[in-house]
Amino acid sequence: MILISNCFRSKKTSSLLIITTRRSSILSANNATAVNFCNSRHIIPRRTKHKPSSQYHYIHKPSHQPLHRSSNKTKYFIISLTAFFTINAFGTYTHFHDNLFQYYPLPCAIDVGVGPSMLPTLTPNRGELYLRDVWSHRSFFGSNKREYKRGDVVTMYNPYSQSIVTKRIVGVEGDTIHLFGEYASEFCKREGDTDGGVPVDGRFNPPFCQSMQQDSFINNVNAKKRMGYNSEATMKVPPNHVWVEGDNPLESTDSRHYGPLPVSALRGRIVLRLWPMMSSGGFYRLSRERPSPFSK
Protein backbone atom coordinates (compact mmCIF):
# COMPACT_ATOMS: atom_id res chain seq x y z
CA MET A 1 0.00 0.00 0.00
CA ILE A 2 2.87 2.36 0.74
CA LEU A 3 4.50 1.61 -2.59
CA ILE A 4 1.31 2.44 -4.47
CA SER A 5 0.82 5.81 -2.70
CA ASN A 6 4.41 6.80 -3.37
CA CYS A 7 3.99 6.05 -7.02
CA PHE A 8 1.24 8.62 -7.34
CA ARG A 9 3.19 11.37 -5.56
CA SER A 10 6.27 11.72 -7.80
CA LYS A 11 7.66 10.28 -10.89
CA LYS A 12 11.16 10.17 -9.45
CA THR A 13 9.96 8.29 -6.52
CA SER A 14 8.07 5.93 -8.68
CA SER A 15 11.05 5.52 -10.93
CA LEU A 16 13.17 4.88 -7.92
CA LEU A 17 10.65 2.47 -6.66
CA ILE A 18 10.56 0.77 -10.00
CA ILE A 19 14.32 0.66 -10.10
CA THR A 20 14.36 -0.56 -6.60
CA THR A 21 11.77 -3.13 -7.47
CA ARG A 22 13.72 -4.19 -10.52
CA ARG A 23 16.89 -4.33 -8.45
CA SER A 24 15.12 -6.35 -5.85
CA SER A 25 13.82 -8.72 -8.52
CA ILE A 26 17.26 -8.96 -10.08
CA LEU A 27 18.77 -9.52 -6.68
CA SER A 28 16.16 -12.07 -5.86
CA ALA A 29 16.83 -13.76 -9.21
CA ASN A 30 20.54 -13.59 -8.59
CA ASN A 31 20.04 -14.93 -5.12
CA ALA A 32 18.02 -17.83 -6.51
CA THR A 33 20.72 -18.47 -9.06
CA ALA A 34 23.30 -18.25 -6.35
CA VAL A 35 21.35 -20.64 -4.19
CA ASN A 36 20.98 -23.05 -7.07
CA PHE A 37 24.65 -22.73 -7.91
CA CYS A 38 25.57 -23.21 -4.31
CA ASN A 39 23.35 -26.20 -4.07
CA SER A 40 24.85 -27.63 -7.19
CA ARG A 41 28.30 -26.96 -5.84
CA HIS A 42 27.38 -28.67 -2.60
CA ILE A 43 25.90 -31.71 -4.40
CA ILE A 44 28.76 -32.31 -6.79
CA PRO A 45 31.59 -32.32 -4.27
CA ARG A 46 29.67 -34.53 -1.88
CA ARG A 47 29.00 -37.11 -4.60
CA THR A 48 32.54 -37.12 -5.90
CA LYS A 49 34.44 -36.42 -2.73
CA HIS A 50 32.69 -38.33 0.03
CA LYS A 51 31.33 -41.34 -1.88
CA PRO A 52 34.00 -43.96 -2.62
CA SER A 53 34.36 -45.44 -6.07
CA SER A 54 33.03 -48.79 -4.86
CA GLN A 55 29.64 -47.24 -4.30
CA TYR A 56 29.49 -46.17 -7.92
CA HIS A 57 30.25 -49.77 -8.89
CA TYR A 58 27.60 -50.95 -6.50
CA ILE A 59 25.07 -48.85 -8.37
CA HIS A 60 25.87 -50.67 -11.60
CA LYS A 61 26.07 -54.19 -10.12
CA PRO A 62 22.33 -54.93 -9.88
CA SER A 63 21.93 -54.34 -13.61
CA HIS A 64 24.97 -56.43 -14.70
CA GLN A 65 25.14 -59.18 -12.05
CA PRO A 66 22.11 -61.23 -13.19
CA LEU A 67 23.43 -61.23 -16.74
CA HIS A 68 26.81 -62.44 -15.52
CA ARG A 69 25.27 -65.28 -13.51
CA SER A 70 23.00 -66.36 -16.34
CA SER A 71 25.93 -66.42 -18.76
CA ASN A 72 27.90 -68.62 -16.34
CA LYS A 73 24.98 -71.02 -15.99
CA THR A 74 24.64 -71.27 -19.75
CA LYS A 75 28.36 -71.90 -20.11
CA TYR A 76 28.38 -74.64 -17.47
CA PHE A 77 25.30 -76.23 -19.02
CA ILE A 78 26.91 -76.34 -22.46
CA ILE A 79 30.14 -77.80 -21.04
CA SER A 80 28.24 -80.47 -19.07
CA LEU A 81 26.10 -81.39 -22.05
CA THR A 82 29.14 -81.64 -24.31
CA ALA A 83 30.98 -83.84 -21.79
CA PHE A 84 27.92 -86.07 -21.39
CA PHE A 85 27.54 -86.70 -25.12
CA THR A 86 31.30 -87.12 -25.57
CA ILE A 87 31.53 -89.78 -22.86
CA ASN A 88 28.48 -91.59 -24.19
CA ALA A 89 29.76 -91.49 -27.76
CA PHE A 90 33.13 -92.84 -26.67
CA GLY A 91 31.48 -95.50 -24.51
CA THR A 92 29.27 -96.62 -27.38
CA TYR A 93 32.27 -96.81 -29.69
CA THR A 94 34.29 -98.91 -27.22
CA HIS A 95 31.46 -101.46 -26.98
CA PHE A 96 32.28 -102.58 -30.52
CA HIS A 97 36.02 -103.00 -29.91
CA ASP A 98 37.45 -105.48 -27.43
CA ASN A 99 40.77 -103.67 -27.08
CA LEU A 100 39.17 -100.30 -26.37
CA PHE A 101 36.48 -101.44 -23.97
CA GLN A 102 39.03 -101.72 -21.17
CA TYR A 103 39.15 -97.92 -21.25
CA TYR A 104 35.42 -97.53 -20.76
CA PRO A 105 35.33 -94.59 -18.32
CA LEU A 106 32.19 -95.35 -16.28
CA PRO A 107 31.73 -98.05 -13.59
CA CYS A 108 28.22 -98.87 -14.77
CA ALA A 109 25.85 -98.44 -17.68
CA ILE A 110 22.12 -98.39 -18.28
CA ASP A 111 20.62 -100.85 -20.77
CA VAL A 112 17.19 -101.11 -22.37
CA GLY A 113 15.46 -104.44 -22.86
CA VAL A 114 15.04 -105.05 -26.60
CA GLY A 115 13.90 -108.20 -28.38
CA PRO A 116 12.12 -111.35 -27.18
CA SER A 117 15.20 -113.56 -26.74
CA MET A 118 15.41 -113.03 -22.96
CA LEU A 119 11.75 -113.43 -22.07
CA PRO A 120 10.53 -113.64 -19.34
CA THR A 121 13.64 -112.27 -17.59
CA LEU A 122 13.86 -109.12 -19.71
CA THR A 123 10.62 -107.80 -21.15
CA PRO A 124 10.86 -105.75 -24.36
CA ASN A 125 8.63 -102.86 -25.45
CA ARG A 126 7.93 -101.78 -21.87
CA GLY A 127 10.64 -99.18 -21.54
CA GLU A 128 12.48 -101.25 -18.95
CA LEU A 129 15.84 -99.91 -17.77
CA TYR A 130 18.57 -102.13 -16.34
CA LEU A 131 21.76 -101.35 -14.43
CA ARG A 132 24.86 -103.06 -15.79
CA ASP A 133 28.00 -103.58 -13.72
CA VAL A 134 31.07 -102.85 -15.86
CA TRP A 135 34.05 -102.49 -13.52
CA SER A 136 33.89 -105.42 -11.07
CA HIS A 137 35.24 -107.80 -13.75
CA ARG A 138 38.24 -105.64 -14.65
CA SER A 139 41.77 -106.89 -14.12
CA PHE A 140 42.86 -103.83 -12.10
CA PHE A 141 40.86 -105.13 -9.12
CA GLY A 142 43.46 -107.92 -8.81
CA SER A 143 42.39 -110.69 -6.46
CA ASN A 144 39.09 -108.90 -5.80
CA LYS A 145 38.06 -109.16 -9.44
CA ARG A 146 34.76 -110.94 -9.90
CA GLU A 147 34.84 -113.70 -12.48
CA TYR A 148 31.85 -114.34 -14.70
CA LYS A 149 29.74 -117.20 -13.41
CA ARG A 150 27.19 -119.57 -14.78
CA GLY A 151 23.75 -117.95 -14.67
CA ASP A 152 24.94 -114.34 -15.09
CA VAL A 153 22.90 -112.19 -17.47
CA VAL A 154 25.49 -110.34 -19.54
CA THR A 155 25.65 -107.75 -22.29
CA MET A 156 28.18 -108.67 -24.97
CA TYR A 157 29.45 -107.83 -28.41
CA ASN A 158 28.72 -110.56 -30.93
CA PRO A 159 31.56 -110.43 -33.50
CA TYR A 160 29.62 -112.67 -35.88
CA SER A 161 26.51 -110.51 -36.12
CA GLN A 162 28.43 -107.30 -35.12
CA SER A 163 25.77 -106.28 -32.63
CA ILE A 164 25.38 -105.72 -28.89
CA VAL A 165 23.13 -108.38 -27.37
CA THR A 166 22.08 -109.63 -23.94
CA LYS A 167 22.20 -113.33 -23.07
CA ARG A 168 22.67 -115.64 -20.10
CA ILE A 169 25.88 -117.53 -19.44
CA VAL A 170 25.10 -121.26 -19.52
CA GLY A 171 28.68 -122.53 -19.35
CA VAL A 172 32.10 -121.12 -18.47
CA GLU A 173 35.60 -122.45 -19.11
CA GLY A 174 35.74 -126.21 -18.57
CA ASP A 175 31.96 -126.75 -18.30
CA THR A 176 30.26 -129.42 -20.38
CA ILE A 177 27.31 -128.05 -22.29
CA HIS A 178 24.70 -129.36 -24.73
CA LEU A 179 25.33 -128.19 -28.28
CA PHE A 180 21.62 -127.95 -29.04
CA GLY A 181 20.80 -126.40 -25.68
CA GLU A 182 19.85 -127.92 -22.37
CA TYR A 183 16.18 -128.03 -23.39
CA ALA A 184 16.69 -129.72 -26.78
CA SER A 185 15.41 -133.11 -25.64
CA GLU A 186 12.37 -131.53 -24.00
CA PHE A 187 11.51 -129.63 -27.17
CA CYS A 188 11.75 -132.87 -29.12
CA LYS A 189 9.46 -134.68 -26.71
CA ARG A 190 6.90 -132.00 -26.01
CA GLU A 191 6.85 -129.87 -29.13
CA GLY A 192 7.95 -132.39 -31.74
CA ASP A 193 10.56 -129.84 -32.88
CA THR A 194 12.87 -131.42 -35.47
CA ASP A 195 15.56 -128.77 -34.78
CA GLY A 196 15.70 -129.28 -31.01
CA GLY A 197 14.44 -125.79 -30.27
CA VAL A 198 17.16 -124.12 -32.37
CA PRO A 199 15.51 -121.39 -34.48
CA VAL A 200 16.56 -120.92 -38.09
CA ASP A 201 18.85 -117.94 -38.74
CA GLY A 202 19.98 -117.38 -42.31
CA ARG A 203 23.23 -115.76 -41.13
CA PHE A 204 24.33 -119.07 -39.62
CA ASN A 205 23.62 -121.89 -42.05
CA PRO A 206 24.28 -124.48 -40.81
CA PRO A 207 24.35 -123.43 -37.16
CA PHE A 208 27.33 -124.20 -35.00
CA CYS A 209 25.56 -127.01 -33.13
CA GLN A 210 24.95 -128.99 -36.32
CA SER A 211 28.37 -128.43 -37.80
CA MET A 212 30.02 -129.57 -34.55
CA GLN A 213 28.17 -132.88 -34.16
CA GLN A 214 31.11 -134.87 -35.50
CA ASP A 215 33.86 -132.61 -34.16
CA SER A 216 36.55 -134.00 -31.91
CA PHE A 217 35.35 -131.77 -29.05
CA ILE A 218 32.14 -133.76 -28.76
CA ASN A 219 32.34 -136.09 -25.80
CA ASN A 220 29.18 -138.09 -26.41
CA VAL A 221 29.68 -139.01 -30.07
CA ASN A 222 27.79 -142.29 -29.76
CA ALA A 223 24.70 -140.68 -28.24
CA LYS A 224 21.35 -141.61 -29.70
CA LYS A 225 20.34 -139.43 -32.64
CA ARG A 226 16.82 -138.14 -32.94
CA MET A 227 15.32 -136.86 -36.20
CA GLY A 228 18.61 -136.17 -37.94
CA TYR A 229 20.43 -134.35 -35.10
CA ASN A 230 22.11 -135.41 -31.89
CA SER A 231 20.17 -133.75 -29.10
CA GLU A 232 22.52 -135.26 -26.52
CA ALA A 233 25.73 -134.01 -28.15
CA THR A 234 27.96 -132.16 -25.71
CA MET A 235 31.24 -130.30 -25.70
CA LYS A 236 33.53 -128.57 -23.24
CA VAL A 237 33.78 -124.84 -23.21
CA PRO A 238 37.30 -123.81 -24.31
CA PRO A 239 39.58 -121.73 -22.03
CA ASN A 240 38.71 -118.03 -21.73
CA HIS A 241 35.35 -118.60 -23.44
CA VAL A 242 31.72 -118.71 -22.35
CA TRP A 243 28.63 -120.40 -23.75
CA VAL A 244 25.59 -118.14 -23.84
CA GLU A 245 21.92 -118.78 -24.56
CA GLY A 246 18.69 -116.81 -24.38
CA ASP A 247 16.02 -117.57 -21.79
CA ASN A 248 13.55 -117.90 -24.67
CA PRO A 249 15.29 -120.57 -26.81
CA LEU A 250 12.75 -120.51 -29.66
CA GLU A 251 13.41 -116.79 -30.27
CA SER A 252 17.12 -116.55 -29.54
CA THR A 253 20.23 -116.52 -31.73
CA ASP A 254 23.06 -117.52 -29.40
CA SER A 255 26.00 -119.88 -28.98
CA ARG A 256 23.99 -122.69 -30.54
CA HIS A 257 24.37 -120.76 -33.80
CA TYR A 258 27.85 -119.20 -33.53
CA GLY A 259 29.57 -121.21 -30.80
CA PRO A 260 31.32 -120.09 -27.62
CA LEU A 261 32.40 -116.47 -27.30
CA PRO A 262 35.65 -115.14 -25.78
CA VAL A 263 35.39 -113.54 -22.36
CA SER A 264 36.79 -110.32 -23.86
CA ALA A 265 33.52 -109.97 -25.82
CA LEU A 266 31.53 -109.53 -22.59
CA ARG A 267 30.59 -105.96 -21.69
CA GLY A 268 29.33 -106.39 -18.15
CA ARG A 269 26.74 -108.10 -15.99
CA ILE A 270 23.16 -106.87 -15.57
CA VAL A 271 22.35 -106.75 -11.87
CA LEU A 272 19.24 -104.62 -11.32
CA ARG A 273 16.08 -103.52 -13.03
CA LEU A 274 15.78 -99.81 -12.43
CA TRP A 275 12.42 -99.25 -14.12
CA PRO A 276 9.65 -100.12 -13.60
CA MET A 277 10.27 -100.52 -9.91
CA MET A 278 8.80 -103.23 -7.76
CA SER A 279 5.45 -102.70 -6.05
CA SER A 280 7.34 -102.31 -2.76
CA GLY A 281 9.29 -99.41 -4.26
CA GLY A 282 12.64 -101.17 -4.55
CA PHE A 283 14.73 -102.35 -7.48
CA TYR A 284 14.31 -105.84 -8.88
CA ARG A 285 17.51 -107.90 -8.64
CA LEU A 286 17.99 -110.33 -11.50
CA SER A 287 18.27 -113.97 -10.50
CA ARG A 288 21.07 -116.24 -11.72
CA GLU A 289 18.60 -119.12 -12.02
CA ARG A 290 17.45 -119.66 -15.57
CA PRO A 291 13.66 -119.92 -15.94
CA SER A 292 12.30 -122.92 -17.80
CA PRO A 293 10.74 -122.15 -21.20
CA PHE A 294 7.97 -124.60 -20.35
CA SER A 295 6.89 -122.93 -17.11
CA LYS A 296 3.67 -120.95 -17.29
**pLDDT digits 0-9 by tens, 61-99:** 454 455 556 778 888 889 988 988 888 788 888 888 888
**pLDDT digits 0-9 by tens, 184-230:** 888 888 766 667 789 989 888 889 988 886 554 445 444 444 445 66
Instruction: Provide the pLDDT for residue 55.
Output: 47
Beta strand pairing status for 284-285 and 266-275? antiparallel
Secondary structure (DSSP) of 52-109: -HHHHHHHHHHHHHHHHHHHHHHHHHHHHHHHHHHHHHHHHHHTT-HHHHTT---SEE
The pTM of this model reads 0.68
Does pLDDT of 60 surpass 70? Answer: no
Question: pLDDT class for 279, splitting at 50, 70, 90?
Answer: low
Task: Please choose, from the candidates 273, 228, 263, the residue with its C-alpha nearest in 3D space to the C-alpha of residue 102.
Answer: 263
Residue that wins the pLDDT comparison between 145 and 47: 145
Residues composing the chain: 296
Question: pLDDT class for 27, splitting at 50, 70, 90?
Answer: very low
Residue 199, amino acid? P
Does pLDDT of 6 surpass 70? Answer: no
Cα–Cα distance, 68 to 212 (Å, whole number): 70
